[in-house]
Amino acid sequence: MFPFTSLDDFKIDIPEEVEILRKTVREFVETKLVPRLSEIEKTGDIPEDLLKEAAKAGFTGIGIPPEYGGQGGSFLEMVVLQEELSRASLAFAASIGVSGLFTIPVLLFGTEEQKRRYLPHIASGEKFAAHANTEPGAGSDVAGIQSTAKKVDGGYVLNGRKIFITGAGKADYFIVSTRTSPPPSRRERWKGITIFIIERGFQGLRIGQRFNVIGLRGEQPYEVILDNVFVPEENVVGQVDEGFKILVTTYDYARISVAAQAVGLAQAAFEKALNYSLQRQAFERPIISFQGISFKLAEMLSKLVAARLLTYWAASRATKGGEEFIFASSIAKMYATEVAEEIALMSIKIHGGVGLDEEYGVTRYLRDALVTEIYEGTGEIQRLTTIRMLLKKVFGIDLAFM
Ligand SMILES: Cc1cc2nc3c(=O)[nH]c(=O)nc-3n(C[C@H](O)[C@H](O)[C@H](O)COP(=O)(O)OP(=O)(O)OC[C@H]3O[C@@H](n4cnc5c(N)ncnc54)[C@H](O)[C@@H]3O)c2cc1C
């Protein structure tokens, strides 16, 4: 049981409404999303009418409480939504899911005014949001950001450059991290960061180049440039100079959705491999009759189930509260994304030559699995978080300061 204390710590509670949601999303995927997949891959964009359909179905409001115009729902609902959408398209799932990187910090740390002003528009799907933290010189090292916010009368002036920002092309609202003070010391370099909400119309905010990353076709990320952007005081989220905590807390929760994305795409890669191995004949038999293939499928399925359980466990723990959920979310993200890569690769191999044909669509799972491994904290960062949590919980040691 170590480092947990009781069997209760491993309980996964899935209320009936989560299963109802799963079926609703599955139907949307099969009837509306699947017929548009090649269009998304070819144009590199998510069709607007499809996003409107998803909003109409209530998907953009999941995780946002009803008092702010949302559907409510726990992390389990968010996870199931992301998993089912990613089974068809990671890009589409990310397109809707990335708003969580805005809504989570606003819900946890924002003012009542900020919640009322921004969340209902996101919940209704009328507006989209993005989260701009990564910079050319800082990704995993969140405290290494160099964008600045200088105090002026009535607010702040922001300057800097953010890269790989998902959803920036269509976002109306942005969560942006900046430095408001230099780090007081090397040990406390996480201090001095402040989070702001920027609206698309703010002068000096520019959307730059789009990055041609190999995966996430349809929702590839953008550069965001801050050129003397004036942001009013009331758009500071949480406390000035205390933004690091907001960022890492946001990622602690949001990475469960990335684990779910990995589970969804791994499920699709597995299903394709299974169907193909039943249909494909070699040496006058379906290839599934060869042990070399059937053992691979059994291994893929076991890893897929384990990844799904870890992900639901993390979502269940996050819903319950308490900082131990961070263990679960890091382990789930690390495991599910790495297993998705393995399953996607195995699926390509089971497909033989057609597995390498882009038109056939199996390579997409591998390209997308690689994205899930990197964004919202790489596997190395998840390992670090897991060990840091362990040392903190069991021995009271803070590894960050060693
Ligand atoms: C498709 C895509 C979408 C993205 N969307 C967003 C977004 O919406 N918003 C946003 O802010 N960012 C976004 N990102 C950025 C993403 O979060 C970062 O790329 C990621 O966190 C890794 O940071 P990095 O690229 O700077 O790599 P680095 O931090 O430079 O890492 C390079 C390598 O070193 C390893 N490494 C770093 N530090 C350690 C350590 N302490 N111990 C062991 N290994 C270490 C890493 O694991 C990695 O293998 C996106 C990225 C991609 C590819």
Residue 92 belongs to a domain with what CATH number?
1.10.540.10
Note whether 113 and 52 are same-domain residues.
yes
How close is the Cα of 181 to the center of ligand 1, in Å? 24
Tell me, what's the pLDDT at 1? 75
204 and 275 together in one domain: no
Please check the confidence at residue 374 and state whether its pLDDT lies above 90. Answer: yes
Examine the pLDDT at 400 and tell me if it is beyond 70. Answer: no
Tell me which of 95, 375, 382, 387 to substitute to probe ligand 1's pocket, judged by most ligand atoms within 8 Å of the beta carbon: 375
Catalytic position from the list 135, 219, 223, 376: 376
103 and 195 co-located in one domain: no
Measured CA to CA in angstroms, residue 388 lies from 8, 88, 372, 391 at distances of: 23, 35, 22, 5
Note the pLDDT of residue 21.
97
State whether the beta carbon of 399 lies less than 6 angstroms from ligand 1: no
- From 96, 98, 131, 134, the mutation candidate for ligand 1 (largest count of ligand atoms within 8 A of CB) is 134
Percent of the chain with pLDDT over 70: 99
Predicted confidence band of residue 214 (pLDDT cuts 50, 70, 90)? very high
pLDDT tens-digit series, residues 151-161? 999 999 999 99
Q: Which domain holds residue 177?
A: 130-242
Residues 201 and 263 in one domain: no
| pLDDT exceeds cutoff 60 at 299 | yes
The answer to whether residues 103 and 152 belong to one domain is: no
pLDDT over threshold 60, residue 402: no
Where residue 398 falls among pLDDT bands split at 50, 70, 90?
Answer: confident
Residue 279's pLDDT is 98
The 10s digit of each residue's pLDDT in 1-54 is: 778 889 999 999 899 999 999 999 999 999 999 999 999 999 999 999 999 999
Number of domains composing the chain: 3
- Residue 334 resides in a domain: yes
Model pTM score: 0.97
Domain boundary among 89, 124, 159: 124
Residue 64 confidence (pLDDT) above 60: yes
Q: Per residue in 245-292, pLDDT tens? A: 999 999 999 999 999 999 999 999 999 999 999 999 999 999 999 999
Radius of gyration of the chain (CA): 21
- Does one domain contain both 111 and 172? no
Q: Is 87 close to ligand 1, i.e. is its CB under 6 Å away?
A: no
Residues listed for the chain:
402
Query: Is-contact 217 173, C-beta < 8 A?
Result: no
Q: Is residue 1 part of a domain?
A: no
Average pLDDT, integer, range 325-344: 97
Q: What is the pLDDT of residues 352-370, one digit of tens each?
A: 999 999 999 999 999 999 9
pLDDT for 323 beyond 90: no
**CATH code, domain with 161:** 2.40.110.10
- Average pLDDT value for the chain: 96
Decide if 70 is inside a domain: yes
- Yes or no: say if 267 and 365 are a contact pair by the CB < 8 Å rule: no
Q: Would you tell me how many other CB atoms lie within 10 Å of the CB of residue 7?
A: 8
Answer yes or no: are the C-beta atoms of 192 and 241 closer than 8 Å: yes
What band does 394 get if pLDDT is binned at 50, 70 and 90? confident
> Do 137 and 223 belong to one domain?
yes
Q: Does 260 lie in the same domain as 235?
A: no
Q: Return the structure tokens found at 365.
A: 């799972």
Asked if the structure places residue 2 within a domain, the reply is no
Q: Which ligand 1 atom is the nearest neighbour of the CA of 167?
A: 8
C-alpha 337/C-alpha 341 separation (Å) is 6
Catalytic annotation on 53? no
Same domain, 185 and 292: no
Is the CB–ligand 1 distance for residue 134 below 6 Å? yes
In this prediction, residues 187-205 reach a mean pLDDT of 96
The verdict on 379 and 279 lying in the same domain is yes
Q: Give yes or no: residues 267 and 363 share one domain.
A: yes
Of 2-11, 28-37, 309-318, 332-341, which range is least confident? 2-11
